Amino acid sequence: MQNKLKKVIKIENLNFGYDKNLVLENIDLDVFESDFLGIIGPNGSGKTTLIKLMLGILSPTSGKISILDENPKKAQEKISYVPQFGQMEKSFPIKAKSVVEMGLCGKKSFLPWTKKEDIVKIEKAMKHVDILDLAEKPFGELSGGQQQRCLIARAIVSEPKILLLDEPTASVDSSVEEDIFKLLKKLNNEITIILISHDIGFISSYVNRIACVNKNLVCHNVDDMKIDNIMKDSYSNEVSIIHHKCGL
């Protein structure tokens, strides 16, 4: 099926290092339209660095990376990012709808009012993540799950082709985690999604592929995997993971 779908991200023989210390080595990865890709690996394995390379924030030391057949920096308007969740100051005076509007900042002129077409996009994004009724509520008064939905709405309001998320449920409880992933699964009908997570047992019910990253990268289809043990050589007992041997 994948070979019939368009490649939206292509990474070939990519290497990247900080101060001559190689963080990622010989990375090859194809991401297809409609993929829901989970990226896993221990702390310091290069997961977030890989996301930053996709975003064009970093450039490869060597090798190639293209986003929608373009250089990542040129494709930035077609890709959105939800960073690791952090609580905003509760007293910060900003409404939920204003947080979502921030997602249009790079695409709008500096006018003292919001254009009608932007209001339509903001309302559409908030409705898409089921928080339109919270538009006028201060962001700091939202629950953790509602705040995360608001940040996802901010990321999709510009109608990107690709959505990247870094630990999207790290700061929410387990009951909220399932709601967030159901939301992402729904969004995946329209957007290619790539996310970093440590909760492999949970995300395997939602993603269609998992990329194991620990300096190198090995990618597997979820249908070929079975979650029942721990990869001690790669995770140092940190997470439960698939039954196969990644060789990382």
pLDDT band at 242 (very low <50, low <70, confident <90, very high): very low
pLDDT at 170: 80
In the predicted structure, residue 118 carries a pLDDT above the cut 70: yes
CATH superfamily of 2-242: P-loop containing nucleotide triphosphate hydrolases (3.40.50.300)
- Average pLDDT, rounded, for the chain: 85
User: Does residue 228 carry a pLDDT above 80?
Assistant: no
Say if residue 57's pLDDT is above 60.
Answer: yes
pLDDT of residue 155: 95
Range of lowest pLDDT (56-60, 69-73, 178-182): 178-182
User: Hey, which of 24-33, 97-106, 135-144 has the most confident mean pLDDT?
Assistant: 24-33
> Tell me: the pLDDT tens digits for 187-213?
999 999 999 988 777 788 899 999 999
pLDDT at 26 over 70: yes
SS3 string of the chain? CHHHCCEEEEEEEEEEEECCEEEEEEEEEEEECCCEEEEECCCCCCHHHHHHHHHCCCCCCEEEEEECCECCCCCHHHEEEECCCCCCCCCCCCEHHHHHHHHHHHHCCCCCCCCHHHHHHHHHHHHHCCCHHHCCCEHHHCCHHHHHHHHHHHHHCCCCCEEEEECCCCCCCHHHHHHHHHHHHHHCCCCEEEEECCCHHHHCCCCCEEEEEECEEEEEEHHHCCEEECCHHHHCCCCCEECCCCCC
